[in-house]
């Protein structure tokens, strides 16, 4: 059994890391401008990218691309993060009733991906993510600013501008999930950096939702291990 394998997903705003050792995984995240974490061998690092590459060297032969992933009806242009998330849900989510799997990845972009229990991609939607929406309001208006705190507003109609901004953005993200998710037919899995925060706002019984913040990184490990016949 090979131990101490490191993985990297280059995101749009952050670097996402995983260390797999002795059948256990540890996850952490860094900003793109930060140095490579200690004890990371870049020559052995398994990586994938959906964002601009960082300023350190990554070996092309260690890259995972969408075309490397075996899923039915998966286009080559599909984001590798979405494909890896699909690999993960098929492996780790119990689905005795053979429901469809609905993945909501709350990152820079909210990517929604649906696949059936056999692993065939049905399709999805892409929506500007939480911080993307907030920053867009600040950049494109004179008086709106990104709120300093992300406290969840309870009321639906707010006087305070920051609360009104937060409520509107949260509703835009959770509303599309509430509209698409049918608990009788689907299993909903949320992931991504903002998933723990936003999952709380979904208007559905929480037992119908599985929050797996590091789902994409789990998919990367599963994919690599299956190729190496170590998993």
Domain boundary among 66, 87, 111: 66
SS3 132: helix
On whether the CB atoms of residues 171 and 84 are closer than 8 A, the answer is no
Cα–Cα dist 109/209, whole Å: 20
Q: What is the pLDDT of residue 54?
A: 93
Task: Tell me, yes or no, whether 57 lies in a domain.
Answer: yes
How far apart, in whole angstroms, are the C-alpha atoms of residue 156 and residue 174?
A: 14
Examine residue 227 and state whether it is found in any structural domain, yes or no: no
DSSP letter (8 states) at residue 96: T
Are residues 68 and 204 in contact, defined by beta-carbon separation less than 8 angstroms?
no
What are the Cα distances from residue 28, in Å, to 3, 7, 85? 18, 11, 17
Query: Is 93 in the same domain as 61?
Result: no
Q: Tell me: do 59 and 118 sit in the same domain.
A: no
- Residue 111 CA: distances (Å) to CA of 37, 157, 170, 177, 190: 28, 27, 15, 10, 10
Percent of the chain clearing pLDDT 70 (strictly above): 97
Domain check: are 58 and 77 in the same one?
no
Residue 231 lies in a domain: no
| CATH number of 94's domain | 3.30.420.40
Q: Same domain for 203 and 98? A: yes
In a domain? residue 94: yes
Q: What is the pLDDT of residues 7-31, one digit of tens each?
A: 999 999 999 999 999 889 999 999 9
What does the DSSP 8-state code read for residue 42? T
Residue 194 contacts residue 129 (beta carbons within 8 Å):
yes
Alpha-carbon span 35 to 97, nearest angstrom: 46
- Read off the pLDDT of residues 67-79 as tens digits, 9 standing for 90 and up: 999 999 999 999 9
Are 178 and 74 contained in the same domain?
Answer: yes
In a domain, 97, yes or no: yes
97: its two tokens: 């009733």
Do the domain assignments include residue 228? no
Angle (nearest 5°) at CA 212 between 4 and 39:
20
Same domain, 200 and 108: yes
**For 225, how many CA atoms within 13 A lie in the half-sphere containing its CB?**
26
Element (H, E) at 19: strand 14-21
Do 148 and 187 lie in one domain? The reply is: yes
Asked if 62 and 48 sit in the same domain, the reply is: yes
Q: Is the pLDDT of residue 231 over 60?
A: no
Pinpoint the alpha helices (H) of 30-160.
Answer: 80-92, 130-140
Q: Are residues 13 and 123 in the same domain?
A: no
Question: What would the pLDDT profile of 159-197 be if each residue is shown by its tens digit?
Answer: 999 999 999 999 999 999 999 999 999 999 999 999 998
Structure tokens at 185: 């037919």
165 and 89 in a common domain: yes
Task: Tell me the per-residue pLDDT of 107-133, one tens digit each, with 9 for 90 and over.
Answer: 999 999 999 999 999 999 999 999 999
Same domain for 35 and 132, yes or no, is no
Structural domain total, the chain: 2
Tell me if 226 is assigned to some domain. Answer: no
Residue 85 lies in a domain: yes
Bridge partners (DSSP) listed for residue 104: 112, 190
Residue 90 belongs to domain spanning: 68-218
Q: Are residues 106 and 142 in the same domain?
A: yes
- Kind and range of the H or E run holding 28: strand 24-31
What does the pLDDT average to over 25-44? 94
β-bridge mates for residue 185, sequence order? none
């Amino acid at each position: 059994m090979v131990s101490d394998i490191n993985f990297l997903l280059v995101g749009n705003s952050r670097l996402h890391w995983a260390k797999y050792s002795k059948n256990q995984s540890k996850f952490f995240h860094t900003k793109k401008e930060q140095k490579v974490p200690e004890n990371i061998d870049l020559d052995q690092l398994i990586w994938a990218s959906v964002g601009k590459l960082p300023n350190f060297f990554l070996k092309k032969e260690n890259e995972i691309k969408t075309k490397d992933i075996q899923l039915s009806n998966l286009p080559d242009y599909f984001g590798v993060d979405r494909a890896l998330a699909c690999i993960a849900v098929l492996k780790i989510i119990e689905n005795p009733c053979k429901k469809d799997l609905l993945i909501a990845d709350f990152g820079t972009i909210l990517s929604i991906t649906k696949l059936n229990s056999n692993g065939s991609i049905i399709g999805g939607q892409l929506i500007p993510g939480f911080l993307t929406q907030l920053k867009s309001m600040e950049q494109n208006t004179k008086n709106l600013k990104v709120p300093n705190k992300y406290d969840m507003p309870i009321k639906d109609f707010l006087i305070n501008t920051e609360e009104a901004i937060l409520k509107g953005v949260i509703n835009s993200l959770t509303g599309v999930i509430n509209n698409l998710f049918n608990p009788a037919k689907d299993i909903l899995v949320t992931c991504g950096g903002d998933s723990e925060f936003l999952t709380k706002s979904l208007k559905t019984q929480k037992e119908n939702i599985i929050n797996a913040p590091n789902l994409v990184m789990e998919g990367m490990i599963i994919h690599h291990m299956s190729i190496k016949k170590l998993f």
